[in-house]
Chain A
């Protein structure tokens, strides 16, 4: 449950974040309000604690009269959070691309979507991926807080075992070990991908480019 929650959250978050950045960097005047809205969204949601956001989403869905399961409430929270965090790192990645890349793509008569997918995106990937992985690990860890709104996941199981009388050392210790087993491979994978991508693209660094 923990794993699927974090996986759904991160995957959807990544896609939404890409869309957000796509619109945020759109250079046209009639989209300015949308751009400010996106900036506001990112800034606000990066500054709300996960626990508070979970409660907010939980009560908001109840107020809207939607009757959805706690699992989806938890997923929605992770998605909201992940979108904001990942949008920020993708934006930072986009900004690190030098403007002449955009200009040369324009000269080659590339459309906006083609520029982003063939020129900009492959170059931002090595910058974005390592920090994205550390955020994925963070989301796995944050999902433990959704046990507070009653969603069933690893931490809830740990508390249950504690309540039926198994010593806390054993029940929470197992919990710790399982969380570690979930997130440590992801950390290692992040390091691995980082090394691979660094080797493949071989970007000139800022200092060399002057």
Chain B
């Protein structure tokens, strides 16, 4: 019943091409995630300290983006923006979409972080005559960095996986280049197996690096691998 013979040899010469795609994936997700971090911090601050109106808008944004598929929002941006006369490249479109999505999830994470700072610690800081900025710098920020670093790095891995959908819009990242190879060589099963393996390798490398950063920058004790 299985009459399929694997032919790995055909694909091997094209491996560097695929690995180049991995680089695109990494810097797409990295820049998107950094934008998302900025959006997330701003949104969380607005949710905790903002006026009621601002808080409602930000909450609506968070709920909307955490409950709709990023594929659909990407389609919406990709086809919707030109209707308003804004024409952007697929790469930038995916970047914006990634940043908006990451921003919504990270806003939740940061809000949880701000809310989980113990009241007495803040009161102690106030008694010591810390200004709001100093409270943030010396009390809230270190606390968030320490407690929320794990969830944030998990989100980063999830967004690396999520960036595979950029290929649908013609961005030549890891999956996009695999599509191109598939169209050229017709060895679909082998190509997608290799692709899956590459993603596993990529995320393992990424999470190891993130754990090392966490260990040396924030003194978080985790098991690396």
Contact, CB under 8 Å: A47 / B199: yes
Given A47-B199, A49-B161, A176-B68, do A59 and B192 touch, yes or no (CB 8 Å)? yes
Interfacial residues, chain B to chain A (CB-CB below 8 A): 1-4, 63-64, 66-73, 75-76, 79-80, 83, 157, 161-165, 167-168, 175, 178, 188-189, 192-193, 195-196, 199-200, 203-204
Given A48-B200, A142-B69, do A64 and B75 touch, yes or no (CB 8 Å)? no
Contact, CB under 8 Å: A172 / B192: no
Q: Write out the residue numbers on chain B whose beta carbons fall within 8 Å of the beta carbon of A173.
A: 76, 80
B164: contacting residue among A49, A64, A162, CB under 8 A: A49
Q: Write out the residue numbers on chain B whose beta carbons fall within 8 Å of the beta carbon of A111.
A: none
The majority secondary structure among interface residues of chain A is helix
A144: contacting residue among B64, B66, B69, B157, CB under 8 A: B69
Find residues 153-180 in chain A having any chain B CB closer than 8 Å to their own CB.
155, 158-159, 162, 167-169, 172-173, 175-176, 179-180
A–B pairs, 24, beta carbons within 8 Å: A43-B200, A44-B200, A49-B162, A49-B163, A52-B195, A53-B196, A55-B188, A59-B189, A63-B2, A63-B189, A64-B4, A159-B75, A162-B79, A168-B83, A169-B79, A172-B75, A172-B76, A176-B68, A176-B72, A176-B73, A179-B69, A179-B72, A183-B68, A187-B67
Q: Write out the residue numbers on chain B whose beta carbons fall within 8 Å of the beta carbon of A63.
A: 2, 4, 189
Q: Write out the residue numbers on chain A whose beta carbons fall within 8 Å of the beta carbon of B1.
A: 64-65
In angstroms, Cα B75 to Cα A53, docked, is 21
